[in-house]
Amino acid sequence: MSPFFVDENIAKAQTPDTKLYKSEAVFEEMKEKIFAPSWQFIGNTDLVKESGDVYPFTLLEHYLDEPLLLVHDKEEKIHLLSNVCTHRGNLLADKPCKTSNLRCKYHGRLFHLDGRFLSMPEFKEVENFPAKNDDLTQVPFFQWGKFLFASVDGQIPANLFLKEMMDRVGWLPVDQYVFKPELSREFMVKANWALYCENYLEGFHIPFVHAGLNAVIDYGNYSTELFKYANLQLGIAKDDEDCFDLPASSPDYGKKVAAYYFWVFPNMMFNFYPWGCSVNVVHPIGVNETKVSFYTYIYDESRYNLGAGSNLDTVEFEDEEVVQLVQKGIRSRFYKFGRYSVKREQGTHHFHRIISSFI
């Protein structure tokens, strides 16, 4: 039996072997078995607003480390392309720019903005050229409102990861959300990426770790809903202030919803508040080092920093402290495994079950 096997019956289940958080070999294995086939948040359409806009970036730098190009072509279509020239592997772009074609600065190979090969100097004598593999690779991507997602593998449809979230809050004007870089943050956490996700996936710790959040959330009515590759924690407010104005079509109509906390496997969190959304990406750096990026999107500035969506930096620091202590604790020779609260830790159990199925 795999050391990462987790019984489907949460009442009987034990947490996975601690090698999940400590082993360099397992950390490397996860790269191709978990992160390559899954989907990653890569930003929003404002990165390439106009025809000719090109935005280079590295997908999960220092882990997947895949150089990509987001491109808005002349036909007003967005493409996600490999940023690697098909001649000698040079990076085509190293900073955002506007251009009519993609030209490699090494030997002059030229591509259309949709990645198709256009021309190459000094190649008249080359046989069977150009071929399909002289085009830039089209990388699978998915768009919801302004939000963009990518998968370097792409064999599992994005809908299997994102459909429940899109259906549940599809009434929100996500296409009108405005990214606020000045309100966004990055944190370095001395812990394994999976431990950080586990912490997010249960509200069990809220009364013990987050005094401020506990003051506005009705812990007794805090609930978790499980989907195939995602889940939802529904935050209910203690009073009528700072709640969503829910449409009658919403399955939550009549509830005092203060926050929708969506987690999407393996490492994305979408926290919807009445003011907008905080998108969190948990980025593996090392077996015990993680970068957590908070991307802030505002819809209603008048409601910003109120209710459950207030003081997010404080909540992060509180989570960071406890997760780093857990990283130290699971290295103990005396800790082997834990058990799950049937009522409060369905999300963590679900996360471990998905990891087990992937590796």
Kindly report the average pLDDT of the chain as a whole number.
92
Two tokens at 111?
A: 């591509």
Q: How confident is the model at residue 209 (pLDDT cuts 50, 70, 90)?
A: low
Same fold, 40-150 and 164-358: no
Residue percentage of the chain with pLDDT more than 70:
94
Q: Quick one: which of 139, 114, 90 has its CA closest to 102? A: 114
Check whether 220 has a pLDDT greater than 80. no
- pTM of the shown model: 0.93
In whole angstroms, how far apart are CA 43 and each of 46, 129, 145, 269?
8, 36, 11, 13
Architecture of the domain spanning 40-150 = 3-layer Sandwich (2.102)
Which CATH code for domain 164-358?
3.90.380.10
Query: Who wins on pLDDT, 282 or 359?
Result: 282
pLDDT for position 204: 63
What residue ranges do the domains of the chain occupy?
A: 40-150, 164-358
d(CA 16, CA 4): 5
**Tokens standing for 24?**
């360099």
pLDDT confidence of residue 217: 62
- N- to C-terminal Cα separation, the chain: 12
Find the helix or strand (DSSP H, E) in which 183 lies. none
User: Would you place residue 211 in the very low, low, confident or very high pLDDT band (cuts 50, 70, 90)?
Assistant: low
Q: Greater confidence, 214 or 268?
A: 268
Which two tokens mark 280? 């969190």
Residues 80-96 pLDDT 10s: 999 999 999 999 999 99
Distance CA 56, CA 70 (A): 6
Please provide the DSSP assignment of 209-240 as one string.
H-HHHHTTB-GGG-EEEE-SSEEEEEEEBSSS
Placement of tokens 């990406």 in the chain: 281
Crossing angle of the two packed helices 346-358 and 193-200, in degrees rounded to 10 = 140
Q: Which of 114-118, 263-267, 269-273, 344-348 has the lowest mean pLDDT?
A: 344-348
Residues 6 or more apart whose CB falls under 8 angstroms from that of 112 comprise 73, 101, 102, 118
Cβ pair 236, 217 in contact under 8 A: yes
- pLDDT value of residue 208: 62
Q: Which of 58-67, 141-150, 238-247 has the lowest mean pLDDT?
A: 238-247
Residue 130: is the preceding peptide bond cis (ω within 30°)? yes
pLDDT tens string 222-281: 789 999 999 999 988 887 778 899 999 999 999 999 999 999 999 999 999 999 999 999
**pLDDT digits 0-9 by tens, 288-319:** 999 999 999 999 998 887 776 677 777 777 87
